[in-house]
Structure 1
Amino acid sequence: MTDSVQNMFTPHGIRPGWRMYAMAGLAVGAVALFSTAALGHLDPVNIVMLFPLAVLFSAARFGRGPAVFAAFLSVALFDFFFVAPHLTFAVGDLQYLLTFAVLLAVALITAELATKLKLQRDAAQLRERHTQALCEMGGELSAALTAAQIADITARYLRDGFGARARLLLPQGGGRFAGADDEPCDEALVERARQVIADPHGPHAAAPASGDMVLVPLRGPMQVRGVLAVEAGDKSDALSAGQLRLLETFAALIAIALERVHYIAIAQETQIEMASERLRNSLLGALSHDLRTPLTALVGLADALPLAGPPLPAAQAELAQGIREEALRTSALVGNLLDMARLQSGKVRLQREWQPLEDVVGASLQARARQLAGHRLRLDLPTDLPLMQIDAVLMERVFCNLLENAAKYTPGGGSIEIRARALDEAIQVVVADDGPGLPPGRTQELFAKFSRGQTESAMPGIGLGLAIVEAIIEAHGGTVRAENAITGGARFVLELPRGEPPALPQADS
C-alpha cells in the first residue's frame, strides 16, 4: 500500500496550534530584524512593503488564524521600530495612520487569498489521495476470490487510512448475520444490521453518531449484499459528511466485489454440476446399454426353461417364473436409466405425428396389463377429442410409467382413472388413483431424478419414472404436475399444447 492511502480521511485544513502562531510571529520578527539592519539603506516606505511577505508566508504555511495574527503584529512592529518616536507605539505624524491602515488591509487581503489557495490545494491533494486510494482498493478487490479476502482488504485500507476498525457483516438467511472474518457479532450490532438491510436509506444507515459504529449498506447492482461496520479510532469526533461519502464509495466497491464473488461461486457450482451430470449420464448410458443384452438373454432363458424338456416340477416352475419376473423388472429399470440418459443428453429427437390419444392410452394399458390386473380401470376419453401431434413411442412410455406408478401404490381392488378434455390452448389428461396419495409438501420433488415418495420403501424402483415423464412432456412443450385429490389418492395432470390437425381428404362423390 502506497503513502497515498495514509491519512486519506484527513479533513480539509489543519487546526492551528500555538506553535503555528509562534512560527508566524517569528516570521514577522525576522522581517523586522532584517529591516532594522537595513534601516540605513532603505526608507520606511520600502520597509513597510516587506511585512506582507511574512503575512503571505504565514497564510500559505499555517492558515488563516496565524496569518491574521502576523498582519496585526506587522503593523505593531512597524510602528514600534520604524515610526518616530521610535520604540514606542505613539505616532508623531498622523499620516502614518493611513500607512498602518493600508498595511493592515493589504496583509489581511493577502492572508485571506493565500488561505483560500491553500485550502483549495489541500482539497485537491485530498481528492487525489482519495482517487488513488479508491483505484488501489478497487484493483485489489477485483483480484479477490472470496469474501474473506474482501474483508481483509477492506479492514486494511480503513485501518491504514484513518485508524478505523472495519468489519463486513453478510446476511446468511433467516435474519442471521455472520462476519466475513468469522468473528462473532453481538446481538445489538446484528439488530442494527437487520434494520440497515431492511431500509438502506433509513436513519440507521451511515448514522454519523459521535463515538458510535457507523453502518453503511453494501448496495450492489442486484441487491444489498451486506453491511460495512466502521468504528473510528478517534471516538471524540463524528465522521464528517465528506468521510461518510467516501465510506459510501468504498461500500459500493465492496458490494460490487461481493456480488462478483457470489456469481463466480454460482458459475463454478453450475459448471461442476453440469460436468457431474454429463459424467453421470454417460455412465448410466454405458451401464444400461451393457446390461440390457444379458438381461434380455436372461428373460429368454427363463422362458425357455419350461420348453427345454419334460415339464418342470411346481417348485422349479415357480423359481423359473420368479427369475423371469425379476429379470423383466430389472430390464425395465435399466430401460429407464437408458431413456433418462438419452433424454438428458439431448440426443432424442421427437418423431411427431398426428395421433389419437385413445390409441396411445390403449397401447399403454396393454403393455401394463400384468401390473394393472386386480385394479379397476375407468376411462373417460371423449370421442370428439382432437388429434395430438406427439411422439407415440415416448408418449406411450409416459402413460406406462404413470400407470405402473399408480398400480404400484394403489392397493388391490382400487381404481385407476384416465380422463381427458380439450382446453382452449391445450389437451389436458389426468391419471388418478385412490391410493394413499402423495407426501404433503413434496409433490414437485417427486419429479427429480432418483427421488421417491418414501426414502426407505419396500416398493421396487429407483425414482426415475416420474423424471422421465416430466422430461418427455417438457420435450413436447407441455407441463405436468402432481397433486393430491380432494377425495383421496394422487392425481397427475398433463397438459400438452393443442395444434391444428391437417384436414382430412374429402372422398370423391
Structure 2
Amino acid sequence: MKIDNPEQLSRGARHLLALLACGLTVMVGLPLRDVLDLANIAMLMLLTVVFIAAILGRAPAILASFVSVAAFDFFYVPPRLSFLVSDVQYLVSFAVMLVVSLLISHLTTRLQASMQEALEREQRAHALYALAQALAGAMSVAQVVRQVGAFVREQAGGEARFFLPDEGERLGEFPEAGHPLGLDESLVLEAVFRAGSGDPSNCVSGPNGLDLYLPLNGATRRRGVLFVRAREDDPGVPVLRPMLEGVASLTAIALERLHFVEVAQASQLEMAAERLRGSILSSISHDIRTPLTVLFGQADALALAGDHLGDAEREAAGAIRDQAGRLHQMVENLLDMARLQAGQVRLRRDWHAIDEVIGASIRLLGDALREHPVKVGVARELSLIALDAVLMERVFCNLIENAAKYSPPGAAVTVEVRPDDGGLAVEVRDRGPGFPSGSLGRVFRVFERGVPESPASGAGLGLAICRAIVEAHGGHIAASNPPEGGACVRFTLPSSGEPPRIEPELADPAGAGS
C-alpha cells in the first residue's frame, strides 16, 4: 500500500492502518514463534513501527509501539495468550522494547519531516528560479503583475495586489482597483511605502486574515508595495514570509528594469528626433539662403528706384523687401540653431560690461522698438563678466524683441540686472498676456511658441536659441508669469575667473608736459 500524503487520511484512518499493520506482523510471526528466537520476533515488531512512523507519522507510530509491546507479551512471551509474565526479566525487555520503539518512531518521523521540508524548499527554489527567468523577459508592468500574482497563488495560497506610485508619488492599485482596502490597511500601506529603505516588511493580522505588506525596494527608489493576503484557513503566508520577501525583491528589480528601459527608449527617440531635426534645419536653411539674398537685394533695388515706379509699385517693392528681410532673419535663426545643436559654435569669451552688451542689442533692434521704450536697470558696482558678446547680443535681441512683440503698443519692456552668487542674473519683463500656464516648461523647445495661434510672426526659434547660448555659457534660463502680470524670462551667467582690475584714469596736472 502506497500513501503519497498521509495528511490526506483522517486521524482515525491512520490509527486503524497502524493497528492493521501490527496485526499483520503478529499473524506473520505466529507460525515462526517456534522457529525464531524471541529477540528476532521483537526485531520484526520494531521494523513494523519503523514503517508505520515513516508512512503514517508520529501519532500512529506511538500507538504501534504500545500495541507491539502488548502483542509481543500476549502472543509470544510465556505464558502465551496472557499478559502474565513468567520471568521478571521480560519486564526489562518490554521496557527496552517500548523505549526503542518510541525513539525509533520519533527519529523516523523527524527524518521524514526533514526530507519533506527539503523537498518543499527545493520546489520553492525551482519556482523562484522560474519566476526570475519569467520576470527577466517581461516586457510590461502588466506581465510582471500577472506572473507574480500567479506565483503567490500557487506557492503561498494567497492573494497578491500591487500598489504602485504615479508621477506625484501617490499610491494606486495596478492594474485596476479590486475591493477597496479599509482605513487601517490603507494607513499601513502608506506607512510601509513612506518608511526608510532599510525597514522590513510588515505582517498584520486583520479581520479578513493575515496581511503581509512587502516594500518593493529598487536600487534608486521604492517602486511600490506588494500586498499579500492569506486565506483564513491557510497559514502559509506568514510561514513563507522569507520566500515572499525574495519575490518582492525580484518584482522590484523587474519594475526598475522596465522603468530604465522606457527612459532609454525615450532618450534614443529624442536623440534621433533632434538629429533629424538638425539635419533638416541645416539643409533647408542653406538651400534657401541664396535665393532669399537675391530676392531681398532685388526688392531693395526696386524700392530705391523711385523715379521709375509709381506709388503702388514702390509700396509693393518695400513690402517685398521687408518680408524678405524677415524671412532672411528666420533663416539666420535656423542656421544658428543648427550650428548650436551640432556643437559647431565655439565661445569667444572676453571681459565685458553687461550694460554695454544690452545697449548694443537695443541699437541693433532699431525700428522694432519704436513703439516700446526699454527701461534698463543695472545694479551698481557690477563687475565685468566673461562672455561671448556677439552671441549674448543675440540673446538680448531675441528676448527684448519677443517682449515687444507680445506687449501692447506703448508698453515698456524692462531689463533688470543684479548680482547672483558671484555671477549675474538678468530679467526681461513685458506687459503682455504672459505665457500660457501649461507651456512654461516647453517654451524653450525648438519650434515651440507660447501662443500657437498668435498673430505675431515667429517660428518658435528665438527662445530655443537663447537657451542654447545661455547654457553654453554655463548658465540657466527659465520663464515665468509674475503676479503683477506680463511675462518674465530670467537667466543667469556664472562668474568664470577673476575679472581684470580697471585702474581709474589720473588727471594730467596743468603744465606737467611743458
Specify the TM-score bucket, using the shorter chain as the normaliser: 0.7 to 0.9
**Correspondence for 2:98:** 104
Give the aligned residue type for 2:319.
G
Give the 3-state SS of the residue equivalent to 2:376 in structure 1.
strand
CA RMSD of aligned residues (A): 3.4
Q: Which residues of structure 1 form unaligned runs of 5+?
A: 1-6
- The answer as to whether partners of 1:208 and 1:240 remain within 8 angstroms in 2 is no
Report the residue type matching 1:396 in the other structure: E
- Helix, strand or coil at the partner of 1:481: strand
Could you list the per-position Cα deviations for residues 393-435 of structure 1 after superposition, in whole angstroms to 9, with x for gaps in the alignment?
Answer: 1101001101111211222222223343445501233333344
User: Is residue 416 of structure 1 aligned with residue 413 of structure 2?
Assistant: yes
**Residue 82 and residue 247 in structure 1: after superposition, are their counterparts in 2 closer, same or farther (change >3 A)?**
same
Gaps of 5+ in 2: 509-514
CA contact (8 A) 1:193 1:215 kept: no
Residues 309 and 414 from structure 1, CA distance in 2 versus in 1: closer, same or farther, beyond 3 angstroms? closer
Instruction: Name the CA shift for 1:398/1:252 in 2 (closer, same or farther; >3 Å).
Output: same
- Paired AA for residue 454 in structure 2: S
Q: Distance in 1 between matches of 2:142 and 2:471?
A: 42
> Which residue identity does 1:188 align to in structure 2?
P
Equivalent residues of 1:355, 1:392 under 8 A apart: yes
Secondary structure in 2 matching 1:363: helix
Structure 1, 420-429 or 97-106: larger mean CA deviation: 420-429
Alignment of 1:59-70 (within 5 A): 59-70=53-64
Query: What is the deviation of 1:65?
Result: 0.9
**SS of structure 1 residue aligned to 2:447:** coil
Q: Distance in 2 between matches of 1:165 and 1:385?
A: 67
Q: Using the TM superposition, give the Cα deviation of residue 117 of structure 1 relative to its aligned residue in structure 2, in angstroms.
A: 1.8
Report the count of equivalent residues: 496
SS at match of 1:458: coil
How high is the TM-score relative to the length of structure 1? 0.86
Taking the aligned partners of 1:196 and 1:255, their CA distance within structure 2 comes to 19
2:41 maps to 1:53: no
Are residues 1:295 and 2:296 paired? Answer: no
1:185 partner amino acid: A
- Report the counterpart of residue 462 of structure 2 in structure 1: 465
76, 80, 83: which one aligns with 1:86: 80
Residue 152 of structure 1, CA deviation: 3.6
Where do 1:133-212 residues align within 5 Å? 133-161=127-155, 166=160, 168=162, 170-172=164-166, 175=170, 177=172, 179-180=174-175, 184-189=176-181, 195=187, 197-200=189-192, 206-207=203-204, 212=209
The one-letter amino acid paired with 2:115 is R
Amino acid at match of 2:233: S
The match for 2:385 is 388
Which protein, 1 or 2, shows the higher relative CO under an 8 Å CA cutoff with sep ≥ 6?
A: 1
The amino acid across from 1:401 in the alignment is N
User: 1:449: which partner in 2?
Assistant: 446
Give the match for residue 3 of structure 1: none
Displacement of 1:247: 2.3
In structure 2, what is the equivalent of residue 273 of structure 1? 270
Give the superposition deviation at 1:62.
2.2
Among 478, 499, 502, the residue aligned to 1:501: 499
Question: Sequence identity of aligned pairs in percent?
Answer: 42
Change (3 A) 1:507 1:230: closer
Decide which of 63, 69, 74 is 1:75's aligned counterpart. Answer: 69
Partner residue in 2 for 1:225: 223
Shift of 1:132: 1.7
Provide the C-alpha distance between the structure 2 equivalents of 1:190 and 1:40, rounded to a whole number of angstroms: 75
Corresponding residue SS for 1:397 = helix
Partner of 1:4: none
Q: TM-score, normalised by structure 2?
A: 0.85
Distance 1:126 1:14, change over 3 A: farther
**Residue 59 of structure 1 contacts residue 111 of structure 1 at CA under 8 Å; is this kept in 2?**
yes
Distance 1:240 1:15 in 2: 24
Task: Give how far 1:458 is off.
Answer: 1.0
CA contact (8 A) 1:192 1:204 kept: no
Quote the Cα distance in structure 2 between the aligned partners of 1:382 and 1:251.
Answer: 58
- Offset at residue 204 of structure 1 (A): 10
The code of the aligned residue for 1:186 comes to G
- Give how far 1:107 is off: 0.7
| Aligned mates of 1:133, 1:204 — CA distance in 2 | 22
Deviates more, 1:82-91 or 1:208-217: 208-217
2:443 counterpart SS class? helix
| Match 2:22 to one of 18, 28, 37 | 28
CA contact (8 A) 2:139 2:258 kept: yes
